Amino acid sequence: MESEKELTERILAVTLEIQENYPELVKYLQEMTETMPDEKNPDVGRRKLKEYYDSLIEMVKNYKQNQLSQNTGMSKKRKE
């Protein structure tokens, strides 16, 4: 299992990618404070960080697929 530090760094990297490449998604980013580790139970903190990271990755993946399908549809319309 990844450490909290590794997960936090990965979350930061994805968040920066979203801000730079997909600013229209920024409004969907969750507050980081919701995912902060619980000192009494660090596994819960890591689990929440991992869930948040996975949700960011899924959001970007879905957005890219949606954009690709929209662009493909527009290309077909232009050819007609």
pLDDT digits (tens, 9 = 90+) for 27-71: 888 654 455 555 666 667 888 889 989 999 999 999 999 988 888
Q: What is the pLDDT of residue 32?
A: 47
Burial of 50 (0-12, 13-18, 19+ CB in 10 A): middle
Q: What is the pLDDT of residue 10?
A: 96
DSSP 2-28: --HHHHHHHHHHHHHHHHHH-GGGGGG
